[in-house]
Amino acid sequence: MVSGSFTSQMRDEGSLLTRLLEKAGVAVRASLWLYEAELNSWRFLVSTDDVDRTGPRSVYGKIRSVITRHSMELSEIDLKDISVVSPKDSLIRSLAKAVRVDPAADGIRFSRSQVSGHYIDDAFIYRLPSLTA
């Protein structure tokens, strides 16, 4: 996992990876960096319906392919830093109810907040699904 402070390189590479995954046909519903304080590390979360349709192994394979093809531009992100989850994941759904991310923006910082029982120490959010309830 990526340790320490959130860097501009992490921010830029998270944005790039999100766009490259979409270009590769992965329907990214949510993508974000999430800080795990107890481990002093950051994980990159990707939420896609493909997790439910084809399984996480298939999604990890697509991500590995994108990272391999773009290794020069994605030097900060490694597959071991990434978790894939369903859009039905409770954290993703909770964040989607509490946070709005403008699609035209290049992400937002979301820190020190509690949403539906999930404490978010720090996160940088690129995409979130729209939820009405």
> Which token pair is 120?
């978010």
pTM: 0.92
List the pLDDT tens digit at each of the 133 positions of the chain.
Answer: 566 899 999 999 999 999 999 999 999 999 999 999 888 999 999 999 999 999 999 999 999 999 999 999 999 899 999 999 999 999 999 999 989 888 778 899 999 999 988 999 999 999 998 765 4
Q: Which pLDDT score, from 0 to 100, does residue 133 have? A: 41
* pLDDT tens, position by position, 30-39: 999 999 988 8
Q: Among 86, 56, 41, 28, which Cα is nearest to 64's?
A: 56
Q: Which pLDDT score, from 0 to 100, does residue 10 have? A: 95
Which domains can be identified in the chain, with CATH numbers? 2-127 (3.30.460)
Q: Among 28, 34, 21, which Cα is nearest to 91's?
A: 34
Cα separations in angstroms, 48 against 22, 58, 66, 91: 10, 11, 15, 14
